[in-house]
Chain A
Amino acid sequence: MSASHQVSEPADRAAAPPAARGGAGGTGQVGLASPLALLAPSFLVAALVILYPLWNIGVLATHDVDRFGQLGGYAGAANLMHVLEDPLFLPTLVRTVLWTLCVVAGAVVVSLPVALILDLDFAGRGLARMIVMLPWAVSVTMTAVVWRWALNGESGYANAVLQGLHIIGEPIVWLAEASTAFPVQILIGILVTVPFTVTLFLGGLASLPRDIYEAAEVDSATRFQAFYLLTLPLLRPFITMAVVLNVIYVFNSFPIIWVLTQGGPANSTDILVTYLYKLAFRFGRLGDAAALSLVMFAILFAFTLVYVRLASRARSA
């Protein structure tokens, strides 16, 4: 017992001479025993690559910046006001909310029944799981490139299949206007979000205690009751997790929109991430782009806080 105590203490207190533990490389032992030393490398690298750029964005957002990135004087909230007063900002924000809401809701609504089915024992379940998971392995960029070709107005396979099934009569030029492009982008977004969501739900289903279902059967609960009264409440933390992680992920999702339409035609399918990219790397408005980054981070942060608060309140109620 004393041995395990000794090693689980921070290094400065577990200062027993290395020889007492009879190991080789005494100084290495103390170094390895210190948890902070073990965390330090990952912290330093993540801080350099993630926290430093964040700080840098903060500086850019509050200063005049020319298109080559040279810092000018302090500008306060001027960049932020540029962004908020830009006539493109509000429609883009609304579209981002719509995009995130539709993709996440769609993915959860599709994934729940799919996970319930894949949790059953049936012939070919392994194959079915594999197929459902498949889009996850493929780069979203590649998927989007393939869909861009499939949605080609003249020679695309989407039109060919839909015409073959007599769902549409004339070929549709899907990506030519937002009214058809954006719904299709949402659909593709749902498709690539399903595998991860199903995975979360399958993990949740696997963790459910089996005996409560036997008890429910003894109490002659119907299958629907068992689902509604047992499975759904028990899956709730997993559904919460799926919503939170997917909202963060989908809100930040860039390739589908960028590859299919680059936010066009005339910015009509832009979401905040593509708009941010254009501000920074097309229009050279680095200060405005930095301010927009902060706005986006604030939105995500607020969402996470509110959701976590709501979820924990619901759990304690």
Chain B
Amino acid sequence: MSAASRANYRRRSLLCWLALSPLVAITLFPFAVMLATALKPAAEILTPRAEWFGSRFAFENFATMWSATNFGSALVNSLAVSCGATLFALILAVPAAYALSRHDFRGSSLYRQFLLVTQMLSPIVLVVGLFRLLVSLGVVDSLSAVTLVYAAFNVAFCVWMLQSYFASIPRELEEAAWLDGASRFTTITRIFLPLAAPALTVTAIFTFIQAWNEFVLALTLLRREENYTLTIQVFSLVAGRYTIEWHHVMAATFAATVPVAILFAWLQRYFVQGLALGAVK
């Protein structure tokens, strides 16, 4: 690289960051607010003009938040629901995506349209009917029912993501295995699924995050506090209360979001392209 082109590169980098700076600032602002508030002593929260740093770092806020907000049980619930929904959505979606990518058959376009319609029917539009469905099955306020519902709403996305990736796995590998006498089942579990592992991982993580972040269904379908997931547990700390313990709330949002955000940030480059292509195809 010549000196001129290096100077050019440096200038361009500076300009790019300059152009992005308003968005970067406003994106990072909520994280700064979370961290600053979570680490301030409780007595210094409600001051006339907010300061970024308190008199000291109050790390004990996280410990007191944990017991005061029922964080542990909400965390366990969120993990159970999100993992369960992810696993179940994949179990349903993998065979369907495999069929769509490997077979040409009459029902396939009908099935694709069905997927599109289920995508358009968002949980909120259906919430009244869903509530009644669970009432009639006697499973209101049940975490397993919420898991099933989350899985069902993510199936369309999973099939969509997976089938565009599956289609890019060469058929010849499977055919070679069949010729060698492997059964279809062995071929799929030994040849096909290992090749599809990256797509499965990305789809799984995306589904997990969707379930982890879901709000309106949890709000309507879960009743007792012991069944609350993190999103509604945190929401219940601010909804309809006269005094809000903001240092606890911010500690809770921080603890609930940062692990997922890091996981996501680390993985986002893997699915930027996959998602875009899957969406347009």
Closest to B187 in A: A23
Our pick among B99, B260, B275 for the contact of A39 (Cβ within 8 Å) is: B99
Stretch in A43-51, A87-95, A214-222, A224-232 with 4+ CB within 8 Å of B: A43-51
Q: Is the CB–CB distance between A49 and B153 below 8 Å?
A: yes
* A42 in contact with B27 given A137-B257, A141-B215, A277-B216 (CB within 8 Å): no
Report the minimal beta-carbon distance from A309 to chain B, rounded to whole angstroms. 15
Q: Establish whether residues A54 and B129, one from each chain, have CB atoms under 8 Å apart when the complex forms.
A: yes
Interface SS, B side:
helix
A55 to chain B, nearest CB (A): 8
Report B24-78 residues with CB < 8 Å from chain A CB.
24, 26-34, 36-37, 45-52
Q: Is the CB of A53 within 8 A of B129?
A: yes
Task: Note all chain A residues with C-beta closer than 8 A to B152.
Answer: 45-46, 48-50
Interface residue? B197 (CB, 8 A): no
A259 touching B238 in the complex, CB below 8 Å, given contacts A38-B99, A141-B215, A160-B49: yes
Judging by beta carbons under 8 Å apart, are B185 and A138 in contact? Answer: no
Would you call B92 and A290 a contact (CB within 8 A)?
Answer: no
Which of B20, B104, B133, B171 has its CB near the most chain A CB atoms (within 10 A)? B20
Interface residues of A in 1-27 (CB under 8 A from B): 3-4, 7-8, 10, 21-25
List residues of chain B with CB within 8 A of the CB of A317.
none
For the complex, give the distance between the alpha carbons of A147 and B190 in Å.
Answer: 48
Q: Which label, helix, strand, loop or mixed, suits the secondary structure of the A interface?
A: helix
**Is B268's CB under 8 angstroms from A129's CB?**
yes
Nearest B residue (CB) for A296: B125
Please, what's the 1-or-0 string for A104-139, where 1 marks a CB less than 8 Å from any CB in chain B?
000000100110010011111110111111111111
A21, A53, A204 — which one has the most chain B CB atoms within 10 A of its CB? Answer: A53
Q: What's the Cα separation between A122 and B8 when bound, in Å? A: 10
CA distance A138 to B111 in the complex (A): 32
Partner of B129, one of A60, A117, A138, A160: A60
- Give chain B residues whose Cβ lies under 8 Å from the Cβ of A10: 103, 105
Residues of A within 8 A of B220 (CB): 277, 281
B171 CB → nearest A CB, Å: 7
Q: Which of B93, B181, B279 contacts A23 (CB 8 A)?
A: B181
B30 vs chain A, min Cβ distance (A) = 4
CB-based contact B121/A120 at 8 Å: no
A159 within 8 A of B: yes
Q: How far is the CB of B11 from chain A (nearest CB, A)?
A: 10
A133 to B103 Cα, complex, angstroms: 36
B residues in contact with A3, CB < 8 Å:
175, 178-179
- Residues of chain A lying within 8 A (CB to CB) of residue B99: 35-36, 38-39
Instruction: List, sorted by A's number, 28 A–B pairs whose CB atoms are closer than 8 Å.
Output: A7-B178, A10-B103, A21-B183, A23-B182, A24-B186, A28-B183, A29-B183, A32-B185, A35-B103, A39-B99, A53-B128, A122-B13, A123-B10, A123-B13, A126-B269, A130-B265, A131-B28, A132-B24, A136-B268, A137-B260, A139-B214, A139-B256, A145-B235, A149-B37, A159-B50, A201-B276, A207-B276, A276-B124
